[in-house]
Chains A and B, each alone.
Chain A
């Protein structure tokens, strides 16, 4: 999360605590170096041999005074963990003394934070007032900073006494704490984006971070085991989070619940000698505890995303409730879980390390729903309670608006079923299952569709006008019924449901009917066109990108190098470039894009993307116009073969010409038997018959869809495609596909582009016998 003590705000936190402490206690004169960010700024500099008696004299004065002060504050706070550092009179080397002085100052601050917190309320209890909450929040945070400062210096002193000289100076990274946990906020921001552009390890961690805010535990166990089995990185991150939770080195805990720094040092050393990976696996047996641990990690992860948290708070989103804000402490459940984990650490210390981490966790980390807050309400305080749903209902209150196209499609479907079900029953009475229609039946049933018939009452002029409006509006497919009504000036059109949709088909018909017969026809026709236009979205990337992509594809296809093209402008050259280089080609039957596409989002950056042309396609020449176009060359799938066979059977049987067995049809429709399986079969067949085309068309029977893509990003079947602005290759666009300010495949092939200078820079230089530095790569030339 942070780089050093200053960056994290530790120094400021200590200043705050010191200045408050000075108002209550007699503080010794503190030397200016005592809160320097790094010890390297003191040791071996002028500060060490200062003019006024030197550093050693200052240290000898300040160490005993700070030790006594800590003892006094601890007694005032009602804790018996005193006698800190009193045995050391600063008689060691200057490094030891300086470190001890800094440690003791931090220890005083930590003890003072406990005292201040206890004055408001003790551990396990929460204040109810806003002001008290704010004060507690600041003290919790400052206390965490002080604890990290103290433990880092204590660890340094321990190491330098036991290991020797080669010990790195105390820093924010000396011990594991919430201040140096990995910043997962960028990963967390991708929680709604699915697995696109995220590798397996990140996806595993992301699923844990995302699912931990759900109040229910359904599916949590399986995600937990899968994520930890599949990803070693996730396991390690969880192990680090567990270490932070057990040592209590985070700000979600009352300062008094944290171990005294001496005992904490013992615990930190003990944990550093053990592998926590096994403990993480063990903790999986207690999924609620694991969830609480991950929630604490999420709480820290999102803590610096103030703007997002504020926005989510308006929606009462669980993530915002978890993150809290400057005015509010973390939720009760998080603190109670933190206390339980810290208790496990205390158990280990009490047993002097003989108790295993697993055993300690089993003994202490238990969660039961409690309600013992009534006794303390009078005093303006309440006991911390834990309940499974302390983060709310688990989902945001965002209403996903139902588009008018969805409502209209339901009306079309019901109107179709009105005619299809009698037809299906007629077929069934003649021992034929109507799972697919032939051309004649398809046309007949759709012409009988009441919704279609209504739209056909509009004149051709009106239909074309509505069509133009629907195609012109980029968000026509997302408009609600109310929006569509407003667009055409139709009064009283409003979905009966609060999300813009309708509660039932009857409601939907009544809603559209409120616009009158013609209005309803307009809405239905508009929605039909809008639904079609929703399949393809095109975004114009602008002139600069167009020019760059044009230059790139000219280079890529080498058309500019032909002598006949040497004097042509770029726009003229574009005309002679092959179609599959400048158009997105796709088969609408098998829904496949056939251009050579870089789909990896740049993750395979080490190898260039040098594929060109198309796959599984063939050229077809129109004999009359001599126009050439691409067709899909895929063999027909089993489903298309089955569909063709069904249609042929329908043609052969001519079921519509058979005599209608009134009695059989009536009895089939009137006799409802749950176990007969008729209803699901009718529903399935009605759906497939409604969605089928007039007749089955195999891949390759029609020309492929061809969309100009230069200077544009195209969304086809939920995937965005664009050209790389630097090398002109096709790419499935992910957010990672950006270089400078342009879209880039991140795998540009310089040799294909003819840019030898870049290629030379990228290629590893020829090996020589000269020795090279293994760290910076500098080669010895002498």
Chain B
């Protein structure tokens, strides 16, 4: 999966000039979506089309957010884990396209084709 660089910049005030100066350096990465090893589409940052009405969208590299997929931050997507060696880290859960719900065993429902096949070719007396 593409490395995601987070930009947790805290600003004292929301001045246009400060936002612009911060925005010059971000976003520097993009996140793959809906493909193998990518994120689910609902885990991505949704950028409103009205964002184009703002100067930062037009003048800084923040405009990339409108077109390049970037994973959004939601605290429920992260889990703080400690492995057997005592190393602690934060992992993302439940946002991968081919990730099953952690341990619960839920899977995507079988395709329509499989259902049809089962209905057509499974002999009744077998069941």
Which A residues form the contact surface with B (CB < 8 A)? Answer: 1-4, 7, 183, 185-186, 189-190, 192-193, 196, 304-307, 314, 474-475, 478-479, 537, 539, 541, 713, 715, 718, 720, 722, 733, 735-736, 738-741, 743, 764-765, 767, 769-777, 779
> From DSSP, what is the main secondary structure of chain A's interface residues?
loop
Complex contact B118–A772 (CB within 8 A): yes
A739 to B58 CA separation, bound complex (whole angstroms) = 24
B86 within 8 A of A: no
Complex contact B101–A193 (CB within 8 A): no
Complex contact B34–A739 (CB within 8 A): yes
Complex contact A304–B76 (CB within 8 A): yes
Q: Contact check: which of B34, B67, B118 meets A541 at CB < 8 Å? A: B67
B83 within 8 A of A: no
User: Contacts of A773 on B, CB cut-off 8 Å?
Assistant: 114, 118
User: Contacts of B121 on A, CB cut-off 8 Å?
Assistant: 767, 769-772
B82 within 8 A of A: no
* 28 contacting pairs across A/B (C-beta < 8 A): A1-B76, A2-B76, A3-B102, A3-B104, A183-B76, A186-B43, A189-B72, A196-B49, A304-B76, A305-B75, A306-B75, A314-B14, A474-B59, A475-B59, A537-B58, A539-B67, A541-B67, A739-B33, A739-B35, A740-B38, A741-B31, A741-B32, A743-B67, A764-B113, A767-B120, A769-B121, A772-B122, A777-B113
Complex contact B102–A7 (CB within 8 A): yes
A314 to B34 CA separation, bound complex (whole angstroms) = 34
The 0/1 profile, CB within 8 Å of A marked 1, for residues 98-120 of chain B is: 00011110000011011101111
- Interface contacts beyond A304-B75, A475-B58: sample of 5 additional A-B pairs, CB < 8 Å, sorted by A: A7-B102, A733-B67, A740-B38, A772-B121, A777-B110
User: Contacts of A738 on B, CB cut-off 8 Å?
Assistant: 33-34, 41, 44, 67-69
User: Contacts of B43 on A, CB cut-off 8 Å?
Assistant: 186
A183 to B42 CA separation, bound complex (whole angstroms) = 11
A474 to B61 CA separation, bound complex (whole angstroms) = 13
Q: Contact check: which of B2, B33, B49, B114 meets A777 at CB < 8 Å? A: B114
- Shortest B55–chain A CB gap in Å is 4
A478 to B123 CA separation, bound complex (whole angstroms) = 69
Complex contact B52–A715 (CB within 8 A): yes
The 0/1 profile, CB within 8 Å of A marked 1, for residues 41-60 of chain B is: 11110111110111100110
Q: Contact check: which of A2, A193, A722 meets B48 at CB < 8 Å? A: A193
User: Contacts of A718 on B, CB cut-off 8 Å?
Assistant: 49
User: Contacts of A479 on B, CB cut-off 8 Å?
Assistant: 55
Q: Contact check: which of A474, A713, A775 meets B58 at CB < 8 Å? A: A474
Chain B: residues with Cβ within 8 Å of the partner, total of: 54
User: Contacts of B38 on A, CB cut-off 8 Å?
Assistant: 740
- Shortest B59–chain A CB gap in Å is 6
B29 nearest in chain A by CB position:
A741
Complex contact B110–A735 (CB within 8 A): no
A476 nearest in chain B by CB position:
B58
A767 to B121 CA separation, bound complex (whole angstroms) = 10
* Residues of chain B in range 1-24 having any CB-CB distance to chain A below 8 Å: 2, 14
Q: Contact check: which of A307, A735, A740 meets B47 at CB < 8 Å? A: A735
8 closest cross-chain pairs (CB), A and B: A774-B118, A474-B58, A777-B114, A475-B58, A475-B55, A741-B30, A772-B117, A186-B42
Among B43, B69, B79, B101, the most chain A Cβ lie within 10 Å of the Cβ of B69
Complex contact B46–A186 (CB within 8 A): yes
A775 to B66 CA separation, bound complex (whole angstroms) = 39
User: Contacts of B73 on A, CB cut-off 8 Å?
Assistant: 307
Q: Contact check: which of A3, A720, A735 meets B46 at CB < 8 Å? A: A735
A743 to B42 CA separation, bound complex (whole angstroms) = 16
Complex contact B52–A305 (CB within 8 A): no
User: Contacts of A740 on B, CB cut-off 8 Å?
Assistant: 32-35, 38
User: Contacts of A770 on B, CB cut-off 8 Å?
Assistant: 121
User: Contacts of B49 on A, CB cut-off 8 Å?
Assistant: 193, 196, 718, 720
B13 nearest in chain A by CB position:
A314
User: Contacts of A314 on B, CB cut-off 8 Å?
Assistant: 14
B119 nearest in chain A by CB position:
A774
A304 to B73 CA separation, bound complex (whole angstroms) = 10
User: Contacts of B54 on A, CB cut-off 8 Å?
Assistant: 478
Given known pairs A305-B74, A720-B49, A735-B46, the reply for A767 and B117 (CB within 8 Å) is yes
A306 to B74 CA separation, bound complex (whole angstroms) = 8
User: Contacts of B74 on A, CB cut-off 8 Å?
Assistant: 185, 304-305
- Shortest B50–chain A CB gap in Å is 6
User: Contacts of B50 on A, CB cut-off 8 Å?
Assistant: 192-193
A191 nearest in chain B by CB position:
B48
A343 to B50 CA separation, bound complex (whole angstroms) = 44
Complex contact B114–A4 (CB within 8 A): no
A474 to B53 CA separation, bound complex (whole angstroms) = 10
User: Contacts of B94 on A, CB cut-off 8 Å?
Assistant: 3
A537 to B44 CA separation, bound complex (whole angstroms) = 24
A773 to B97 CA separation, bound complex (whole angstroms) = 24
- Shortest B29–chain A CB gap in Å is 9
B53 nearest in chain A by CB position:
A478
User: Contacts of A475 on B, CB cut-off 8 Å?
Assistant: 55, 58-59
User: Contacts of B93 on A, CB cut-off 8 Å?
Assistant: 7
A715 to B126 CA separation, bound complex (whole angstroms) = 60
User: Contacts of B55 on A, CB cut-off 8 Å?
Assistant: 475, 478-479
B101 nearest in chain A by CB position:
A3
A192 to B46 CA separation, bound complex (whole angstroms) = 10
- Shortest B118–chain A CB gap in Å is 3
User: Contacts of A771 on B, CB cut-off 8 Å?
Assistant: 118, 121-123, 126
Among B14, B44, B46, B79, the most chain A Cβ lie within 10 Å of the Cβ of B46
- Shortest B60–chain A CB gap in Å is 10
User: Contacts of B122 on A, CB cut-off 8 Å?
Assistant: 771-772, 774
A590 to B72 CA separation, bound complex (whole angstroms) = 39
- Shortest A311–chain B CB gap in Å is 9
A185 to B54 CA separation, bound complex (whole angstroms) = 24
- Shortest A41–chain B CB gap in Å is 11
User: Contacts of A196 on B, CB cut-off 8 Å?
Assistant: 49
A25 to B66 CA separation, bound complex (whole angstroms) = 57
A713 nearest in chain B by CB position:
B67
- Shortest A74–chain B CB gap in Å is 33
A545 nearest in chain B by CB position:
B67
User: Contacts of B72 on A, CB cut-off 8 Å?
Assistant: 189
User: Contacts of B67 on A, CB cut-off 8 Å?
Assistant: 539, 541, 713, 722, 733, 738, 743
- Shortest A782–chain B CB gap in Å is 15
Among B43, B49, B73, B119, the most chain A Cβ lie within 10 Å of the Cβ of B49
B106 nearest in chain A by CB position:
A3
Among A305, A722, A773, A774, the most chain B Cβ lie within 10 Å of the Cβ of A774
A7 to B101 CA separation, bound complex (whole angstroms) = 11
Given known pairs A537-B52, A738-B69, A740-B38, the reply for A776 and B101 (CB within 8 Å) is no
A777 to B49 CA separation, bound complex (whole angstroms) = 41
- Shortest A722–chain B CB gap in Å is 8
A744 nearest in chain B by CB position:
B34
A719 nearest in chain B by CB position:
B49
User: Contacts of A765 on B, CB cut-off 8 Å?
Assistant: 113
Complex contact B69–A741 (CB within 8 A): yes
* Residues of chain B in range 76-97 having any CB-CB distance to chain A below 8 Å: 76, 79, 93-94
A2 nearest in chain B by CB position:
B76
- Shortest A126–chain B CB gap in Å is 26
User: Contacts of A736 on B, CB cut-off 8 Å?
Assistant: 41
A438 to B63 CA separation, bound complex (whole angstroms) = 43
- Shortest A558–chain B CB gap in Å is 27
Complex contact A7–B79 (CB within 8 A): yes
- Shortest A190–chain B CB gap in Å is 6
A686 to B104 CA separation, bound complex (whole angstroms) = 68
User: Contacts of A3 on B, CB cut-off 8 Å?
Assistant: 94, 101-102, 104
B14 nearest in chain A by CB position:
A314
User: Contacts of B103 on A, CB cut-off 8 Å?
Assistant: 4
